Amino acid sequence: MPLLPDRQKLLAGAAVAASLAVVSLFALRAGELVAYPWDWSPDEGLFLDWGRRALEDPGSLYGRSFVPYPAAYGPGFPALLAPLAPLGPGMLGAARVMALLWTGAWALAVYVLVRRAGGPAAGVAAAALSLAAFDVSFWSMLVRPDGPMLALWLFAAAALLPARLEPGSDRLSWRRIAAGSALLVAATLTKPTAVVHGAPLVLGWLLVDRPSALRLTLSVTTVGLVALALLQVATDGGFLWLQRVWSYHGTQVGLREAILWHSLDRMWPYAAFAALAAGIAVARSRSPRGVLAESAWLLPLGAALVVPLLSKYGASWNHLVPMVPALSVLSGRFLANARTGPALTAAVAVALAATRPFPLPSDLDRRTASAFYGFVKEHTQRTGGPILATRPELAYFVVGQPVEMEGSCFAQLARHQAPGTERVLERLRNGRYTLLVQLHDLPEEAGLAEAAARGYVHAGGCNLSFYLGTAPVHLFTRKDLPLYLSPPAGTRCGGPASAAALSPRVSR
């Protein structure tokens, strides 16, 4: 292979240096989040609780009741977090370190997928591009199943992506089939949306080699059915029973359109750059055939297949995060044979990194959260608990209690009289809970809000900040327990007389 001209070597070196600078900046910002001792998404406490229960009380994750709240996404993420449970309060920080690792795995998979077509410099630049929109890629640093699912999906692509989407261009070995099948099933057990993300990686082989497509389909189906059977046996049938939770989530008018517009606002540079890269590839080859045959098309296709699910209650823009690494791989492979491809990719990555802020908590956020969770812990130590929280679920984690009910879907479950919700109503009426923590109001269904109003009084609250902004979280103590929040100075907290002062919604 002839040596590159000095100028091209210099350009490739500059692209690698710029790309590593972007990756380093991401790591620096991520490190700041690792050091933050509180939740940065209101649901992170739920996943920490699943990890703890996977070690201490695995049966509760698949009991035939929604109280305590079961592991609705599958066993993959709780199993991943379970080894961290002995760390106690340090579990959140350790989980964020783990998040840094699975985010690095995401970037590594992008590197591998692009390096094959364009060499190391192109791979590094594409990996940096996949992280550069910090206001999207930060999501992988949250303690949620999205990050590990995404890494597993991308590594499945590294095993299964055909050379070209052309008949006879490639053939799957049994080794690739086994690795890809295991990774796809593992991704699905971490978050079920991996089923739709991964479908094109399997079905795309029908365009390339039908025997390979058949063998891969049989392998994925077999591995998936074996995993399902083992889960059913291990959970005494609780795994499939729990899947009814998704039928309780009805559609929400206008939600899909809102998510698409929000995602387009954040991700359009990736689509625009992919279009530019495709144009460059067509101009170089003087034919669109090569662009159309690029197998990396299967990745954005898989990311887009989730769109029909976005109208489901509870869906959010995070479902489209896979589109960012998918388009990064596609763009990098389009530019694989362009001399300036790595430099162009790195330039876009630098531009995005310079203009897209990584959402991070402030010192005020830290003081406020410390005051809030400090009160929740002190109140429970003095009264014995239990508590009821409609988010943030970290309130359960800090007092060592299993998550009683997941806050965002509480109303949906109560409306359908899901098993276990009657326990919450009974405990409210009997004053069993000593403290109520409310980011979301208790629903009117079944008299839940009425029972709370009858037995509890406002004890104060705080305007807590998360990645999505600042929102009021109210505290209600049982009427016979005169324990009220005395807000420390320099926080966004207020006492029982300040209910109206807590902001209905404060933008960051």
Of the candidates 300, 326, 355, which is a domain's last residue? 355
Is residue 65 included in any domain, yes or no? no
Do 246 and 339 fall within a single domain? yes
Q: Are residues 321 and 213 in the same domain?
A: yes
* Pairing mode of beta strands 456-466, 387-389: unpaired
Question: 296, 325, 355 — which closes off a domain?
Answer: 355
Say whether both 349 and 370 belong to one domain: no
Report, in angstroms and rounded to the nearest whole number, the Rg of the chain calculated over CA atoms.
Answer: 25
Number of domains in the chain: 2
Q: Can you give the residue range of the structural domain that contains 368?
A: 363-501
The CA distance from 468 to 318, in Å, is: 12
Is pLDDT above 80 for 110?
A: yes
372 & 445 share domain: yes
Q: Same domain, yes or no, for 299 and 370?
A: no
The token pair that represents 503 in the structure block? 């902001």
Residues 152 and 266 in one domain: yes
Same domain? For 348 and 388 the reply is: no
Q: Say whether both 397 and 339 belong to one domain.
A: no
pLDDT tens digit sequence for 119-149: 999 999 999 999 999 999 999 999 999 999 9
Residue 481 lies in a domain: yes
**48 lies in a domain?**
no
C-alpha–C-alpha distance, residues 170 and 383, integer Å: 66
Q: Among residues 259, 296, 263, 264, which one has the least CA distance to residue 277?
A: 296
Q: Is 196 helix (H, G, I), strand (E, B) or coil?
A: helix
Give 199-255 pLDDT, tens digit per residue: 999 999 999 999 999 999 999 999 999 999 999 999 999 999 998 888 887 788 899
9: Cβ contacts below 8 Å, ≥ 6 apart = none
**Residue where a domain terminates, one of 355, 379, 405:** 355
Residue 77 lies in a domain: yes
Distance of CA 390 to the CA centre of its chain: 20
Are 42 and 466 in contact, with CB atoms under 8 Å apart? yes
Q: What confidence tens digit (pLDDT) does each residue in 327-380 have?
A: 999 999 999 888 899 999 999 999 999 999 999 999 999 999 999 999 999 999
**pLDDT, tens digit, 9 for 90 and up, residues 316-339:** 999 999 999 999 999 999 998 888
Report the candidate in 223, 150, 148 with the shortest Cα–Cα distance to residue 181: 223
CA torsion through residues 456, 461, 51, 305, sign = positive
For the beta carbon of residue 54, count every other beta carbon within 10 angstroms: 21
- Looking at the fold, whether 347 and 426 belong to one and the same domain comes out as no
For residues 390 and 343, state if they share a domain.
Answer: no
pLDDT tens track for 36-81: 999 999 999 999 999 999 999 999 999 899 999 999 999 999 999 9
Q: How confident is the model at residue 447 (pLDDT cuts 50, 70, 90)?
A: confident
**Which tens digits make up the pLDDT trace of 8-24?**
888 889 999 999 999 99
Residue 80 forms part of a structural domain: yes
CA–CA dist 84, 93 (Å, integer): 10
135 and 259 in a single domain? The answer is: yes
Residue 14 lies in a domain: no
* Strand, coil or helix: 442: coil
